[in-house]
Amino acid sequence: MDLYTPEFVHCNGEKFRVYLTHEEIQDRVKKIGQKISNDFYDRHPIFIGVLNGSFIFLSDLMRYVHIPCEVDFLKLSSYGDEKVSSGQVTELKEIDADIRGRHVILVEDIVDTGLSMKFLIEKLKRSHPASLTSVSLLHKSDQTQHNVQLDYVGFRIPSLFVLGYGLDFAQEGRNLAQIYIIDKKVPDN
């Protein structure tokens, strides 16, 4: 299968370069999947993916999980089409599953300010799951202003705008199989 893995890519007028390669991402996602398989081997967890950004990470992650499990999705929006968080969480789709008494694994592509994850943890706890575990592929820990519990993290990254592997820039670029950052030119002296 030919995945979409250019070294450089243009998206909405900006040039991006590879930051995390396909191999680096897959190695890390596989390790998280193996750890979740061990940690939840007798718990029949339900993964809840936060749309849109988590859909690729979650689909890879689940295929590295070798125990019985289920999946459902909810949808939030905090960024709109901008590169920085709007500071407001909008709930666009609820989960369908009844999670009372279930072992829930909440899956995000990125935790930035932490607002979305905090909102979701508080919301899902109100449905009385047996346990609530959080996973994020990326964590911009320097940017995080809200006190959020993150149980599994793929990569801690600096405060850079990231694109690809589910993450978008004005809805484009989610189909890139690697993670990209803006390719800043070094100014001439």
Interface stretch with ligand PRP, choices 30-38, 77-85, 122-130, 181-189 (CB under 6 A):
77-85
Say how many residues touch ligand PRP, by CB under 6 A. 19
Tokens for 49, please give them.
């993916």
114 lies in the binding site for ligand PRP (CB under 6 A): yes
Interface stretch with ligand PRP, choices 4-12, 19-27, 38-46, 73-81 (CB under 6 A):
73-81
- Phi then psi for residue 61, to 5 deg, are -55, -45
Beta-bridge partner residues of 39: none
Measured from the Cβ of residue 172, the count of other Cβ atoms closer than 10 Å reads: 14
At position 129, the amino acid (one-letter code) is P
107 lies in the binding site for ligand PRP (CB under 6 A): no
Catalytic, out of 60, 109, 112, 168: 112
CB of 77 to ligand PRP, least distance (A): 4
110 lies in the binding site for ligand PRP (CB under 6 A): yes
What span, in angstroms and rounded, lies between the C-alpha atoms of 35 and 71?
18
Tell which residue, 137, 183, 140, has the closest CA to residue 11: 183
**Cβ proximity to ligand PRP, 111 vs 179, nearer residue:** 111
**Cβ proximity to ligand PRP, 68 vs 80, nearer residue:** 80
114 contacts 86 by C-beta, under 8 angstroms? no
113 lies in the binding site for ligand PRP (CB under 6 A): yes
96 annotated active-site: no
11 contacts 163 by C-beta, under 8 angstroms? yes
Interface with ligand PRP (CB under 6 A): 50, 52-53, 76-79, 85, 108-117, 168
